[in-house]
A and B are shown apart, each in its own frame.
Chain A
Amino acid sequence: MKEKKTVSPEYMILEAPREKKFMIGNEALAEAVKRANVDVVVVYPITPQSEISHLCGDLWVAGYIKDYYRGEDELHVMASMMGAASAGVRTFTATSGPGTLRAMEPFACWAGYRLPIVCPIMGRGIGTPANIQPDSVEIFYLLETGMIIFHVESPQDFFDMTLQAYAIAEQPDVHIPVIVFCDGFFVTHTREIVETTPDDEFLLPYNSNLSPVPAMDMEAVPVRMARDCLVIKNNFISYNANASWQQEVRAAQHRARKYIDRFMGGPLEVINPDAEVLLMASGSAAAQARVAMEIAQEEGIDVGMVKIKVIRPFPVAEIAKLCEKAKLIMVPEFNFIGWLAKEIKAVVNNNSKVFSGPNVFAGMTMPPEVIVDEIKKLLKLTK
């Protein structure tokens, strides 16, 4: 392959010219992977994620990805990602639903290893009865893994947030993985206009010398990691190591905030924040809330909306502040447990005004009218 033109993430994300294309979410994601200059991709089929894995295979054949293979299952694909990222190369993989749950052990390890892996997850139903339809319940399981989590609303978000994920994950003072989550099918298989950067401009290669922990490549100094093992609680250091490392991972999430502000324009998108009713939503629910807000405004109800782009680190202070004035906060979600409402209730002073719902799941649609009806019902109740 001929010499690639490489550009900084700042330029690609914030300044590069954009071209409009009509494509589905998975194609938008593949366009982002192509531009991200990825070294190693390991994949495993699961609906609705498989298509991006196929597209990565094409990118490998075309020379845009350096190594690619299908692993044996999600648990071991995510373990292979640990190995590849530990060596100090840029990695990519993706999964869905049951695959996410099968991979939970490596997911809980990635941040602790300080690996800047970027992994989109295309949410779908999990558990019994079997279901492949869109659902965002998986995020609930991922909340405390130490990983940064973005929630995608549209194919455009999928393109942008994946590139933003690499830019943020690889900052030396962050260097933890990013999950780019979308609600399966709604985003992956919906065709929309996506504005992409020039396809002959690629991100600068990953530089493992900037990693806060040495790459596992025997190029740095080999040295005994510890005199006593950390697994056994036989000494003072063992306790301290675990406690300080857990805190360090959370601190890395916190340090990511400045890059979230720089590359993503902050963790929230806020429209009409002083409204009487605030719809707070993420992912596909934000898309439905956007339309519901317009319908309600036409009917003379004072409604605003907050799209939460970043679920971890959770924008605690901003959300608490936004909720101060509103009379009613509604949290529509594409899952049955209402995890986002729980998150919001946990950070708001007077959380009796936060209502979880409407909740739909397992591929049910959430017509904006349903949200509007719910607003009207709740306004009557609160009067």
Chain B
Amino acid sequence: MDAVKIAPGFEKIMPQEYQDLVNDGPYGRNLSVKDLGTFKELIDEHPLCAGCTLTLSLRIVLASLPNPENTLIVTCAGCFGVIHPQISLHCTIAPFGTHNAFASGLKRALKVKFPNKNKDVISMAGDGGFADIGLSPTFHSWVRGERLTSIMIDNECYANTGGQDSGMTPEGVVLNMSPLGKNFPKIEFAELAKLAGCAYVATATPTNPRLLGQMVRRAILVSREVGPTVIRIATVCQTNYKLSPIEGYNKAKSFESQTFEYFTKEAQKYIESIEKKSPKTELNLEVGVENED
């Protein structure tokens, strides 16, 4: 926490925004989604489209970090490339698709540098970044058991490049590189994550902030002690799907039916030990626990 202080003598000359972060930011305060509106957030303006559900998702994720003062984020090209400089954490952009490889090196180096200190590394990218160009390093980071939290914001297309189909675009959708409709189905990203041995896999939507916030918290805690964790945030790019902001929000809301959580036995035990109860979500969603033996 010493890092999140103003050096003596600099109190008056630091920008107001910086003073707000130091005096009223979320560092070291164990805040959550329900505290939104009462503190200086890690992101509070953005240059993306009006009504963008990616930024809504990002806002919820950032408000749910268990230890923002020791959290680092790796992103890659796409709409994240536009927004990442404005996050008030150590946050960087890796070459497109390499974010989980970058994050693997970062996490291991931090472990070497601070053997007795926990540093949470989150890799956050879009559906193209994770499921297409970055599938190999993503899958390999899971197989290696890297202690990372991978958060895919799935808006079902390449958005920043002008609306092309990705592996996560549903079959039949017409986008700029699928002029006759995409002719193969959406990749089963969560199934791949389970297959690779991830300890915690979840799908959420930004339209249920409390549930998403809980998932983010669980994913990060499990990644510290058990193994790799994955959250897919199901949304849509309303700009490239030619929807109004409210239509985009409603489309994301319609994905609430896809919401689920999966724990390995070890991850379930760990969550139980922290939350002092069985890790059923508040909404009593189906909890898929797979026996490891």
Indicate if A39 sits at the interface (CB-CB under 8 A): yes
Q: Are the C-beta atoms of B3 and A225 separated by less than 8 Å?
A: no
Distance of A216 from chain B, by nearest CB (Å): 5
Which stretch (B31-39, B90-98, B184-192, B198-206) binds chain A? Answer: B90-98
The answer to whether B105 touches A40, judged by C-beta atoms less than 8 angstroms apart, is yes
- Known contacts A222-B89, A224-B87; A83/B103 CB under 8 A: yes
Which of B89, B95, B140 makes the CB contact (< 8 A) with A109?
A: B95
Q: Is B70 an interface residue (CB 8 A)?
A: yes
Q: How far is it, in angstroms, between the C-alpha of A222 and the C-alpha of B1 when the chains are bound? A: 11
Scoring A residues 63 to 90 as 1 if CB is less than 8 Å from chain B, else 0, what string do you get?
0001101011101110111111111110
Task: Give the complex CA separation of A228 and B84 in angstroms.
Answer: 10
Is the CB–CB distance between B69 and A218 below 8 Å? yes
A317 within 8 A of B: no
Do B111 and A83 have beta carbons less than 8 Å apart? no
Using CB atoms, name the residue of chain B closest to A66: B112
List B residues 98-139 near A (Cβ within 8 Å).
98, 101-114, 119, 136-137
Q: With a CB–CB cut-off of 8 A, which chain A residues contact B174?
A: none
The majority secondary structure among interface residues of chain A is loop
Q: Which of A75, A81, A218 contacts B89 (CB 8 A)?
A: A218
Please indicate the chain A residues that have their CB under 8 angstroms from the CB of B101 in the complex.
71-72, 75-77, 79-80, 83
At the interface, yes or no: B196 with Cβ under 8 Å from chain A?
A: no
Q: Kindly list chain A residues whose C-beta atoms are within 8 Å of the C-beta of B112.
A: 39-40, 66-67, 89
Chain B residue nearest to A39 in the complex (CB):
B112
* Interface status of A199 (Cβ within 8 A of chain B): no
Pairwise interchain contact A84-B95, C-beta atoms closer than 8 A: no
* Least distance between B123 CB and chain A CB atoms (Å): 10
Contact A217 B110 (CB under 8 A): yes
Shortest Cβ gap from A227 to chain B (Å): 7
| B85 with A79: CB separation less than 8 A | no
Given A80-B105, A83-B105, A218-B69, A223 contacting B110 (CB threshold 8 A) = no
Question: CA separation between A91 and B106, bound complex, in Å?
Answer: 11
| Interface check A232, CB cutoff 8 A | yes
- 1/0 per position for B139-172, CB-CB distance to A under 8 A? 0100010000000000000000000000000000
Contacts of B110 in A (CB 8 A): 87, 217
Interface range for B: 35 or more
Give the CA-CA distance A72 to B111 in the complex, in Å: 21
Please pick, from B47, B69, B84, B107, the residue contacting A232 in the complex, using a CB distance under 8 A: B47
Closest to B91 in A: A225
Residues on the A chain within 8 Å of B241, using CB = none
Contact between B3 and A106, CB atoms less than 8 A apart: no
* A219 interface contact, C-beta 8 A: yes
Is the Cβ of B71 less than 8 Å from the Cβ of A218? yes
The answer to whether A76 touches B136, judged by C-beta atoms less than 8 angstroms apart, is yes
Taking a contact as CB atoms closer than 8 A, the residue among A82, A223, A230 that contacts B102 in the complex is A82
The answer to whether B197 has its CB under 8 Å from any CB of chain A is no
Q: Which residues of A contact B140 (CB under 8 A)?
A: 71-72, 76
B88 within 8 A of A: yes
A80 and B136 in contact, given A217-B90, A224-B87 (Cβ under 8 angstroms): no
Chain A: number of interface residues, binned into ranges: 35 or more
* Closest CB in chain B relative to A330 CB, distance in Å: 40
Whether A217 contacts B69 by the Cβ 8 Å rule is: no
Residues on A with C-beta less than 8 A from B94 are 79, 82-83
Known: A83-B105, A218-B70. A226 touches B86 (CB 8 A): yes
Contact of B137 with A86 in the complex, beta carbons under 8 Å: no
Task: Tell me whether A14 is interfacial, beta carbon within 8 Å.
Answer: no
Give Cα A369–Cα B18 distance, bound, in whole angstroms.
69
Chain B hits for A42, CB < 8 A? 105
Instruction: Establish whether residues B98 and A79, one from each chain, have CB atoms under 8 Å apart when the complex forms.
Output: yes
Q: How far is the CA of A40 from the CA of B81 in the complex (A)?
A: 27
In the assembled complex, the Cα of A293 lies from the Cα of B185 at a distance in Å of 67
Contact B109 A39 (CB under 8 A): yes
Q: Which of B18, B95, B103 has a CB less than 8 Å from the CB of A106? A: B95
> Is A220 engaged at the interface, CB distance under 8 Å to the other chain?
yes
Pick the residue among B17, B87, B90, B137 that contacts A79 (CB under 8 A).
B137
Tell which of A66, A73, A223, A226 has the most Cβ of chain B within 10 Å.
Answer: A223
Tell me the complex Cα distance, A80–B90, Å.
Answer: 17
* Residue on A nearest B108 in the bound complex, by CB: A67
Instruction: Out of B18, B81, B113, B137, name the residue touching A76 (CB < 8 Å).
Output: B137
B47-75 vs A, Cβ < 8 Å mask (1 yes, 0 no)? 10000000000000000000001111010
Q: When A42-B105, A221-B3 are in contact, do A88 and B113 touch as well, CB less than 8 Å?
A: yes
CB distance from B29 to the nearest CB of A (A): 14
Q: Judging by beta carbons under 8 Å apart, are B3 and A86 in contact?
A: no
- Residues of chain B contacted by A227 (CB below 8 angstroms): 86
Residues A226 and B109 in contact, CB atoms below 8 Å apart = no
B79 to chain A, nearest CB (A): 10
Give chain A interface residues in 198-242, CB to chain B under 8 Å. Answer: 208, 214, 216-232
Please state if B70 and A223 are interface contacts (CB–CB under 8 Å).
no
Give Cα A226–Cα B82 distance, bound, in whole angstroms.
Answer: 10
Within 8 A of A (CB), among B1-39: 3-4, 17-18, 21, 27
The CA of A363 and the CA of B86, in the complex, are separated in Å by: 51
Q: Give complex CA distance A85, B104 in Å.
A: 12
Q: Does A261 make an interface contact (CB < 8 A)?
A: no
Q: Please, which residues of chain A bring their CB within 8 A of the CB of B88?
A: 222-224
- The residue from B87, B89, B109, B114 contacting A83, defined by CB atoms under 8 A apart: B109
Chain A 310-330, CB-CB to B under 8 Å as 1, else 0, gives 000000000000000000000
Residues of A within 8 A of B102 (CB): 79-80, 82-83, 86
Q: Can you sample 10 A-B contacts with CB below 8 Å? A: A71-B104, A75-B95, A85-B109, A87-B105, A89-B109, A91-B105, A216-B72, A222-B89, A223-B88, A230-B85
Given A106-B98, A220-B90, A231-B81, 5 further pairs, Cβ under 8 A: A83-B109, A86-B92, A222-B88, A222-B89, A229-B82
Chain A contact residues, CB within 8 Å of chain B: 39-40, 42, 66-67, 69, 71-73, 75-77, 79-89, 91, 105-106, 109, 208, 214, 216-232
